Amino acid sequence: MSADQNAAGVTRLLEIMARLRDPEHGCPWDRAQTWRSLIPFTVEEAYEVADAIERGSGEALCEELGDLLFQIVFYAQIASETGSFDFEAVADGIAEKLERRHPHVFGDAHIASAEEQTLAWEEHKAHERARRGDGPAVGALDGVAQALPALTRAAKLQQRAARVGFDWPSVDGVLAKIDEELAEVCVELDAEVPVSERLEHELGDLLLAVTNLARHLQVDPETALRRANRRFETRFRHMEQALAAHGGDLSQLSPAELDALWRAAKAVEH
């Protein structure tokens, strides 16, 4: 597809968005939306992009990327109506940022590896935050968005801390920390009257330690859990279907029978 065709597609999309928001002839639902009301839809579309990639479906990915692009166009249209910014400003802004953060491509800097580029990227971001004055000082953890899923944010916070030396030297230390945190959960469970707030506290520490293990193993914890969820769902549905074929009900089975069904469902995967 030529650059002119790409530009025509973007122009058409922007025109459709403007028409949907037209005060007199637009869509009532689209006219009622605000930046804030769009947040859950944007997050959902981003996850649907990830799901399409996980399923390996190029057709689905194309569609989901379109839905995500529509969200960006939607925000830009609302902004243009108040004179804040428009889609062109969004595109120009990211283009300028990409050139600025890739001096080894658009300038004379030399970067030999993806790891070096990651460090350079973070340094550029830190300098940009400092120039913007995002707070009285720029700390190692600044700029990690509060709105990220907790698991993703935990990994990013630990990654930032590790860059300034706050890290276990090897995976052995992380494994020991997991054992320690699990023992503290067990202490709370063994209490005569377990306190829910303390249990939540200790479980949170355990999850943080497991996330740190994922980072040390170079595994994205959000992706790992998403895939584990998919495996669980597939196996559980297989259990339901296998039992329904014989008129059975999962709720009527003993723990041993449920375990046998679960093992059979796992065996189907291999």
Q: What is the pLDDT along the chain (270 residues), one digit of tens a residue?
A: 666 667 889 999 999 999 999 999 999 999 999 999 999 999 999 999 999 998 899 999 999 999 999 999 999 999 999 999 999 999 999 999 999 888 888 888 888 787 777 777 777 777 776 676 655 456 888 888 888 889 999 999 999 999 889 999 999 999 999 999 999 999 999 887 777 889 999 999 999 999 999 999 999 999 999 999 999 999 999 999 888 887 888 888 899 999 999 999 998 876
Residue 113 lies in a domain: no
Choose among 209, 222, 228, 217: nearest CA to 152.
Answer: 222
Do 200 and 238 belong together in one domain?
no
CA dihedral over 64, 70, 76, 82, signed as positive or negative? negative
Cα→Cα distances 132→125, 129, 148, 155, Å: 11, 5, 22, 25
Q: What is the per-residue burial (b if ≥16 Cβ within 10 Å, else e) of 160-178?
A: beeeeeebeeeeeebeebb
**Are residues 91 and 19 part of one domain?**
yes
| Cα separation, 245 vs 163, whole angstroms | 55
* Count of the separate structural domains present in the chain: 3
Residue 80 belongs to a domain:
yes
Please list the helix, strand and coil fractions of the chain in percent, rounded to the nearest 5, in that order. Answer: 75, 0, 25
Q: Are residues 94 and 24 in the same domain?
A: yes
Tokens of 113: 């590896």
Its pTM surpasses 0.85? no
What is the CATH number for 165?
1.10.287.1080
With residue 262 as reference, give the H or E element that holds it: helix 255-268
Task: Mark whether 15 and 89 lie in a shared domain.
Answer: yes
Residue 252 belongs to domain spanning: 223-268
71 falls within a domain: yes
